Structure 1
Amino acid sequence: MENDKKIAVLIDADNVSDKYIKFIFDELSNHGTPTYKRIYGDWTKPQLASWKSVLLNYSITPIQQYNYTTGKNSTDSALIIDAMDILYSKNVDGFCIISSDSDFTRLAARLREAGMYVVGMGEKKTPTPFISACEKFKYLEVLAGTITDISNIDGVLEKQHTPKEGLANLGELIKSIKNIITESSDEEGWANLGEVGNKLNMRYPDFDTRNYGYSKLSSFISSLNKFEILSGKTNRGETLVKNKK
């Protein structure tokens, strides 16, 4: 099971605010059990002072890293070195890298090459390469509930000509959902909703129904008015989805 995984949590204090800490660990409980919990930064800097009050509450180990050279981020190097040490220890099943910095793109890719489950968390400004390198990516603003719920999906579709920064374009998502249903459906055109959701996540690591104001995949897909939903009507109580004609 996914939530049985042992996960190493590595936080880039230079690129993440302490205001997200509760939401980070609430979300992590859906993915596994945090084992290593480390946060990296130069703790002599006054801008990191707000982090110090929350570290004890969440049993996070602060790793001191001085910036030896002006303009160079030593925090990134320390986090990357620790991640590789943890990887070789073979004590975890996955990693959660919490940063909005693209410098961790290669690290995420390398960890996945080693068979690790990699979750990324960062703000909407996170560059696409880092998002794509993770198996799943969660936006901190969404986890904290600071994005307003979208109630008028049709209106948004009409106005949205380009993707939102950090969020998959709704029109592109609809096309992908239609294709996945076509590829996965039975002779009558019905596909398992859970399977559709899994394949959608594989194509878009940052896909999360909460990005669009919905807590469940079925509610989100229903709101698009492009699909039929059949709930609990099969022998196994599965929810099925079908493209509307």
Structure 2
Amino acid sequence: MPTDSTIDPKTTAQRPAATRAYRGASASAREAERRQRLLDTALTLFANQGYARTPIEQLCAEAKVTARHFYQLFGSREGLLKSLYGQLMADLKAALLSALSATQAELNEQLPLAVRALVEHYLNDTRRARVGVLEVVGVSADMERLRRAAIHDMANLIALYMAQLAAQGDLPARNYHLTSIAIVGGINELMADWLTASEPPSVAVLTLEISDFLTALVHGSHHLPQREIAL
């Protein structure tokens, strides 16, 4: 199994960065381009063959980046995965917020729109889902902390939505933090099952199932008592 030590970082000692332009591109622009090539390559390779089975040599070769530049940019293969995961989560959050800001729907009708945006963003390019849902699991304690932070970030958005519904009288006034984490976990597991199923349902069916699941959880809260949950 390939590891981050496949290439000896001692042979890739950092050198002073060049500042002059090369073929019309500044040093910082070339560095940004190399970084994005590695992220794009990692998205494809980690999704198609798995993070654990992707050596640094292959990443560098397919991204056309030297090992020295790789270590300067990311430090390790896990460092690359962390950066890629951060980019995926930022893009997902932006897609959700964009979908919500573009609609004039009533607050209690916005949940299906958010679900559709999430599913379409992830599953229209399944590489995103494979990395964001499957490949980041079990990598390391640091990676797990990042994954948990991302779950809580998405849960905070849902909790804010539910608090707004409560403020206008559509839900009981209570703390929806734990409910929101359960919602994110449920979506994650449905995605994981879809990605690993031998005969998965269509994206349309999955979207509807997730939407129904969230609607049942959110609007089922009408039957809950008004209380605060000590956290």
**TM-score calculated relative to the size of structure 2:** 0.24
Normalized per residue, the structure richer in strand is 1
Which structure is higher in RCO with an 8 Å CA cutoff and minimum separation 6?
A: 2
Please identify which structure carries the higher helix content.
2
TM-score (norm 1): 0.23
